[in-house]
Structure 1
């Protein structure tokens, strides 16, 4: 399995996953033109990607969906009923085969075992995912105010995590953002702070060395130094974790 983060953050989110059997996108939050350009830079053909997993309906996760649908490459879209209901009528009319998924109900997808994870975000029915293929596992968790403790056992000891560390609280509160927006981000349906993300990773990484792609980093209210400080303060064994910072620039593929 190989994972490519094409873009991450409030300006757009999209992840490309492939193995020798299948390839798919998780979210399409940048324009179709940019998706094509980024895939070409990897030497990949966007027309060969026929499957999309959607986490939720916010623009920074579906911005390129209409363009993808008009291009005609997608054959199936996996999403919750809440996400489907929240899409525009124009998008819904162009959707190919849709597979309605539910949090906590795992399913098989082309030799992958997929477990949707219920998230806490101000969207209709947002989910994250754990993908297991052979002996390797990849967890995608962004856009959530917290991760319920009931999920810690099923999420622990993955080989790769795409987990958000969105903001530094002091920088957020000191920013020029409207107070209502600050409340939203800080709330249980907002985003994970650096400390919350680091504490969560410390609980999840138990018996193996894992990679953490730090995702959905606020450009205004966060930076790498603040994130690293939180990791040093809250991760007990720093040798168990390899940290990679995501942004709007594409990351090299990570092989598992």
Structure 2
């Protein structure tokens, strides 16, 4: 069956992505409560106790809320870089030393035939990083929580079979919305989140012959809508010469409903 994944939850209220092969399974972030995480696992007919480990991207609460609970309850290894470990101190409770592992940025860890590659993003956290999963010639990229997509990032993530790609906000909705200006400025900055249009431009530069699906992720509940994000990305990709539905499929993610467990 190769590699499979489900975006368990994605959005301002909590983020988590499940990735498995026949031999290993990992959860990237656990941004909801332990109970909510268990309920999401049940919806895809999986058990968090079977996980090989938890991978942390950065210390913001919508990514780590359930990390400590799951790690302690199921005695799971937790992987994060040193600066993120330091930043999580006091936020996730005590994790036994034997369950704490360092996963440095711009490195690869191998678990049997599964290689997990970390890469840095531009976000207002201690040392934020996301992951590329490589298995049997297939490539799955997770990239959210970045203010822009650099050439270095593009080189790492290019030509994945599937992407979970941030499409956080519509710029006009954000500018006209209820957020105070300092929050708007943070979101629009180079260490904030990418807009629908900027995400699509970056996508157009990394979509390759292997690319089949892109899941639009981390949508703002206040400054975006699923249909608007899909329409904006579709239109911008068309302007860049990529036709959605022919060359690549776009899929939604949801804050509360997992995507179907899908083969990469």
Answer whether TM exceeds 0.5 for this pair: yes
Q: Deviations over 1:62-120 (max 9, x none)?
A: 0111211331331x211111110011347463244322222222232332222211110
What residue is the counterpart of 1:14 in the other structure? Answer: 16
* Number of residue pairs aligned between Structure 1 and Structure 2: 255
What residue is the counterpart of 1:211 in the other structure? Answer: 213
What residue is the counterpart of 2:87 in the other structure? Answer: 86
- Per the TM alignment, residue 169 of structure 1 is displaced from its structure 2 partner at its CA by 0.4
What residue is the counterpart of 2:108 in the other structure? Answer: 106
- Equivalents in 2 of 1:48, 1:5: separation in Å? 17
Q: Which moved more, 1:237-246 or 1:57-66?
A: 237-246
- Equivalents in 1 of 2:129, 2:262: separation in Å? 23
What residue is the counterpart of 2:242 in the other structure? Answer: 237
Runs of 4+ with >6 A deviation = none
Q: Which moved more, 1:128-137 or 1:85-94?
A: 85-94
User: Does 2:257 correspond to 1:252?
Assistant: no
- Equivalents in 1 of 2:172, 2:155: separation in Å? 31
Secondary structure of 1:199 counterpart: helix
Superposition TM-score, scaled by structure 2 size: 0.92
Q: Mapping of 1:41-80 within 5 angstroms?
A: 41-74=43-76, 76-80=77-81
- Equivalents in 2 of 1:20, 1:107: separation in Å? 17
Q: Deviations over 1:105-139 (max 9, x none)?
A: 22323322222111100000000111100111100
Ranges in structure 2 where 5+ consecutive residues have no aligned partner: none
- Per the TM alignment, residue 251 of structure 1 is displaced from its structure 2 partner at its CA by 1.1
Ranges in structure 1 where 5+ consecutive residues have no aligned partner: none
User: Does 2:138 correspond to 1:136?
Assistant: yes
- Equivalents in 1 of 2:202, 2:122: separation in Å? 15
Q: Mapping of 1:143-158 within 5 angstroms?
A: 143-158=145-160
- Equivalents in 2 of 1:200, 1:210: separation in Å? 16
- Equivalents in 2 of 1:209, 1:90: separation in Å? 37
Q: Aligned-pair RMSD on alpha carbons?
A: 1.5
Q: Deviations over 1:143-173 (max 9, x none)?
A: 0101211232231110110111000000000
Superposition TM-score, scaled by structure 1 size: 0.94
- Equivalents in 1 of 2:158, 2:212: separation in Å? 10
